[in-house]
Chain A
């Protein structure tokens, strides 16, 4: 037993030496994401968004006295065990100032409760949307730029009512994200006078959903509300519904928002028959345009879910460090609130030089992000903006903000 401990300590100090060889002028921030695991394909663009913000900061003078804004990636695997482990590594070994992440709500929940809150480190999630995160007693250490599910479920319900639907069937992939939106939608749609004729959870990644869909059809349902990821089960559900003529009208939340839905089902079939809400940005907004242009230049798709949130989270933490004037963990939380909300000089994505100058001059700043105005409420949450996406005449998604 003792020899094992000795071996472990030796291994740990070997890593310490490696850590020591990094440049002295690095300011480390943890970038915890579900790189592997069930939502890996959604996480890649989010991480790219975070990295783009770091590139902008470093290309325009860096942090404080020219220090390098260094994001350290750690894999939360969408599993609370791995989330705690990843959080512990970046907080303790890498000595990060703050953390962006984790991706999934479960991993975030474990990580903040077991690691970051006790250690007094600020965490800012860009995609954890579970309402339970709002309830944590976090001493103002847990923030997120991703809106709580509650908002999107309401948005879809309102849209469905506005479009004249009265009776809907619904199905959701049984994961924390989709189950959460589905629960809010079910309640909201009924509160608005609609009727849910059938509601069934399904397991993602099955080859066929024919039996689930035939259970859901009937009772005069006018359409099917799908809460799922497009790759996991969403496209298959639409295909099976159409094949068997059971549903031809669909609505969905942002897990379904992808060009491959149109590619695989066909634009003509879906036109006028589907709408998808997305936790979106105001695409006409200057902040979003600035982000989209830069993000496209790196070969990524700016409308990828939560990519803009990833950028904002990363950029906001850089602003908070600059505002705090030091890489001191304790000062980040308060500084984050100051830079995120008005009044003050408006800063948009990519405008690091301007922000740096304003902070140096002692001015207040107000970051208006690519994903929204990112004003935190008391619990450290933000309100959301949503878009509704339909199939346009050109066979691509046509996006409109919800008024």
Chain B
């Protein structure tokens, strides 16, 4: 019975973490899936969101600035706004860069942001991190606190999903797809492609900031190691590619699936003898890479590919009615 109860709690934590990753994967989907912008700096916006919310909502502390003890919901909103403002600045400068150049620029920006959080000790407590961050529903008794937090995360994922599905089918989303496929033709049709790309970049980065804020409150602690590029940028890319880019359902499924594999494989490797268990910790990272290879071979468009035909058809029908 205890075993079953424990496993349910673990599944809750998988869904919570997976859901937080889904928020960020949805953000990446706006940038890469819809618009074709290669953002390799997810970790930077993640860190901005995490620190913004942490600094605003924790109680006063001599170790870092802020400590305003604001309600958590304001922390979430501020995290999205700050990440959005920084993304706007980045986009203004970098948006004309083509895919791989944009990747290099954003990768650099993410490192700059991470090192800033690490070195500006007066503001962020440097590498020692911000502790004692409040967690929504933490006063509820076990296991309801975990369930309520999971419900909050999944609700946010659902809300963003509905929003993005509308955006994808709306003219906004269709122009995005058009500019991704053929920018010259889109410009020729009189669309302001640069402006749309900036909008998509800012919107996606706001989701990443929200993901960071959710992580900070979930962990109750944040330090620069949490914005490590492996787990805060590349893992999210794997999630989106495996799930299916340009498909919002794919982003969510990919996030939860990859996180489950990432986390649960350790339950297998920890059963090996100690010597091997230490080594297989590295094999897990290799396995994720292998999985990506297999998925790309078998499903070049991800598990749930983009539903373009259907979406376009659905749009055509109402037009032909009158």
Listed in ascending order, the chain A residues whose CB lies under 8 Å from chain B are: 1, 4-5, 7-9, 11-13, 15-16, 18-20, 22, 35-38, 44, 47, 51, 71-75, 77-82, 84-86, 88-89, 91-95, 104-107, 109-110, 113-114, 118-119, 130, 132, 135-136, 174-176, 179-180, 201, 203
CB pair A85 B63 closer than 8 Å: no
Partner of A92, one of B13, B135, B271: B13
Per the bound structure, the CA–CA distance linking A132 and B120 in Å amounts to 18
Per the bound structure, the CA–CA distance linking A75 and B228 in Å amounts to 15
Per the bound structure, the CA–CA distance linking A146 and B109 in Å amounts to 37
Interface status of B99 (Cβ within 8 A of chain A): no
Interface status of B131 (Cβ within 8 A of chain A): yes
CB pair A88 B220 closer than 8 Å: no
CB pair B220 A47 closer than 8 Å: no
**Known: A19-B3, A81-B215, A95-B6. Is A36-B282 also a contact (CB below 8 A)?**
yes
Chain-A contact segment, one of B171-179, B202-210, B255-263: B255-263
A-B contact pairs, 10 of them (CB 8 A): A8-B256, A36-B285, A47-B274, A85-B13, A93-B7, A106-B221, A106-B223, A110-B226, A176-B223, A179-B126
Whose C-beta in chain B lies nearest to the C-beta of A81? B226
**Known: A44-B278, A91-B6, A179-B121. Is A74-B126 also a contact (CB below 8 A)?**
no
Partner of B10, one of A93, A104, A118, A130: A93
Apart from A89-B10, A136-B132, 15 more pairs, CB < 8 Å: A12-B14, A15-B7, A35-B277, A44-B278, A72-B270, A88-B9, A94-B270, A106-B127, A109-B223, A110-B220, A132-B63, A132-B129, A174-B126, A174-B127, A179-B126
**Known: A118-B138, A130-B128, A132-B128. Is A8-B115 also a contact (CB below 8 A)?**
no
CB pair A109 B278 closer than 8 Å: no
Per the bound structure, the CA–CA distance linking A104 and B129 in Å amounts to 12
Per the bound structure, the CA–CA distance linking A41 and B68 in Å amounts to 40
**B136-154 near A? 1/0 per residue, CB < 8 Å:** 0010001001000000000
**Known: A8-B11, A82-B231, A84-B218. Is A75-B252 also a contact (CB below 8 A)?**
no
Per the bound structure, the CA–CA distance linking A179 and B126 in Å amounts to 8
Report the minimum CB–CB distance from A375 to chain B (whole Å): 26
Report the minimum CB–CB distance from A144 to chain B (whole Å): 15
Per the bound structure, the CA–CA distance linking A13 and B260 in Å amounts to 13
Partner of A15, one of B121, B225, B264: B264
Interface status of B314 (Cβ within 8 A of chain A): no
Per the bound structure, the CA–CA distance linking A261 and B281 in Å amounts to 28
CB pair B6 A93 closer than 8 Å: yes
Partner of B131, one of A20, A47, A85, A109: A109
Partner of B228, one of A9, A79, A84: A79
Across-interface contacts of B278 in A (CB, < 8 A):
35, 44, 47, 73
Interface status of B315 (Cβ within 8 A of chain A): no
Partner of A179, one of B127, B215, B249, B260: B127
Across-interface contacts of B282 in A (CB, < 8 A):
36
Partner of B119, one of A91, A135, A201: A201
Per the bound structure, the CA–CA distance linking A179 and B274 in Å amounts to 32
Total A-B pairs, Cβ < 8 A? 166
Contacts of B94-115 to chain A: CB distance below 8 A: 115
CB pair B231 A81 closer than 8 Å: yes
Listed in ascending order, the chain B residues whose CB lies under 8 Å from chain A are: 2-4, 6-7, 9-11, 13-15, 17, 63, 115, 118-119, 121, 126-129, 131-132, 135, 138, 142, 145, 215, 218-223, 225-226, 228, 231, 249, 252-253, 256-257, 260, 263-264, 266-268, 270-271, 274, 277-278, 281-282, 285
CB pair A114 B128 closer than 8 Å: no
Across-interface contacts of A22 in B (CB, < 8 A):
271
CB pair A80 B225 closer than 8 Å: yes
Report the minimum CB–CB distance from B229 to chain A (whole Å): 11
Per the bound structure, the CA–CA distance linking A95 and B1 in Å amounts to 11
CB pair B220 A176 closer than 8 Å: no
Instruction: Describe B's contact surface by its main secondary structure.
Output: helix
Report the minimum CB–CB distance from B19 to chain A (whole Å): 11
Partner of B266, one of A13, A74, A81: A74
CB pair A92 B9 closer than 8 Å: yes
Across-interface contacts of A93 in B (CB, < 8 A):
6-7, 10, 267
**Known: A36-B285, A84-B219, A110-B221. Is A118-B267 also a contact (CB below 8 A)?**
no
Across-interface contacts of A119 in B (CB, < 8 A):
142
Q: Which of A51, A80, A105 has the most CB of B within 10 A?
A: A80
CB pair B221 A4 closer than 8 Å: no
CB pair B7 A13 closer than 8 Å: yes
CB pair B221 A95 closer than 8 Å: no
Per the bound structure, the CA–CA distance linking A201 and B224 in Å amounts to 15
CB pair A113 B131 closer than 8 Å: yes
CB pair A18 B268 closer than 8 Å: yes
Per the bound structure, the CA–CA distance linking A175 and B226 in Å amounts to 13
Across-interface contacts of A136 in B (CB, < 8 A):
131-132
Report the minimum CB–CB distance from B228 to chain A (whole Å): 6
Across-interface contacts of A86 in B (CB, < 8 A):
266
Across-interface contacts of B15 in A (CB, < 8 A):
5, 8
Q: Which of A72, A82, A95 has the most CB of B within 10 A?
A: A82
CB pair B267 A89 closer than 8 Å: yes
Report the minimum CB–CB distance from B225 to chain A (whole Å): 5
Across-interface contacts of A47 in B (CB, < 8 A):
274, 278
Across-interface contacts of B118 in A (CB, < 8 A):
174
Whose C-beta in chain A lies nearest to the C-beta of B261? A11
Per the bound structure, the CA–CA distance linking A80 and B4 in Å amounts to 26
Report the minimum CB–CB distance from B174 to chain A (whole Å): 25
Report the minimum CB–CB distance from A327 to chain B (whole Å): 11
CB pair A95 B2 closer than 8 Å: yes
Across-interface contacts of A16 in B (CB, < 8 A):
3-4, 7
CB pair B220 A114 closer than 8 Å: yes
Per the bound structure, the CA–CA distance linking A13 and B4 in Å amounts to 9
CB pair A89 B128 closer than 8 Å: no
CB pair A75 B266 closer than 8 Å: yes
Whose C-beta in chain B lies nearest to the C-beta of A133? B131
